[in-house]
Amino acid sequence: MNRIARIAAGAAALLAAPVPAFASAQAAATTVTTCGWSGLQAGLSTKVCADVTGNSVVLYGQIGLAGPPSPGTPWPPAPQELLTRLTADVAGGNSLGAVNGRTVFQISTVRVDGITATVPCGSTVHASFSVESFYRGPSPVTVDVPVVC
């Protein structure tokens, strides 16, 4: 068998080989991100999101600017110290936890991490995120996420 024939036979054998098991496992572990509606809190835009991979759920809040500054507003805005609260539970079931914290927001979107949990397949996770400042109270945003395994 000449050299070109051996190379062609080797290539054909590789193409006919079965797909390794780890490749199909990676395809099954797809992460789906779901975010709730944005809300206005403390003059900012906030939302709560969930990353679901199988039956693992990662919940976090996001804080961003509510819109462009009004004419005459000093730029960049002064940093704001915010109180944050992220809570989650399985609908009709147990609490997944609550995280209270402080964060400083100025211009760039801030991600507030907090809750990671493993939940039963077929359940729905309900999460709530709120921010407040010294002069404005909270107005929570929510998301309900089905956990489909």
Distance in angstroms between the alpha carbons of the first and the last residue of the chain:
50
Tokens, residue 107: 């211009």
Q: Could you report the per-residue pLDDT of 62-90, keeping only the tens digit for each? A: 999 888 777 887 777 788 899 999 999 99
How far is CA 3 from its chain centroid? 53
H or E segment at 13?
Answer: helix 3-16
Whether 15 shows a pLDDT value over 60: the answer reads no
What average pLDDT is seen over the chain?
Answer: 83
Average pLDDT on 31-53 reads 91
Residue for token pair 């024939």 = 5
Q: What is the pLDDT of residue 14?
A: 44
- Give the Cα separation of 105 and 49 in Å (integer): 18
The topology under which CATH files domain 31-146 is Immunoglobulin-like (2.60.40)
**Percentages helix, strand, coil for the chain, rounded to the nearest 5?**
15, 50, 35
Q: Which CA distances in Å does 80 have to 44, 45, 125, 132, 146?
A: 10, 14, 30, 10, 34
Q: What is the pLDDT of residue 34?
A: 95
- Give the Cα separation of 85 and 99 in Å (integer): 6
- Give the Cα separation of 65 and 100 in Å (integer): 21
The domain spans of the chain are 31-146
- Give the Cα separation of 96 and 126 in Å (integer): 9
The answer to whether 107 and 95 are in contact (CB under 8 A) is no
According to DSSP, the β-strands at 110-118 and 95-105 are unpaired
- Give the Cα separation of 49 and 92 in Å (integer): 20
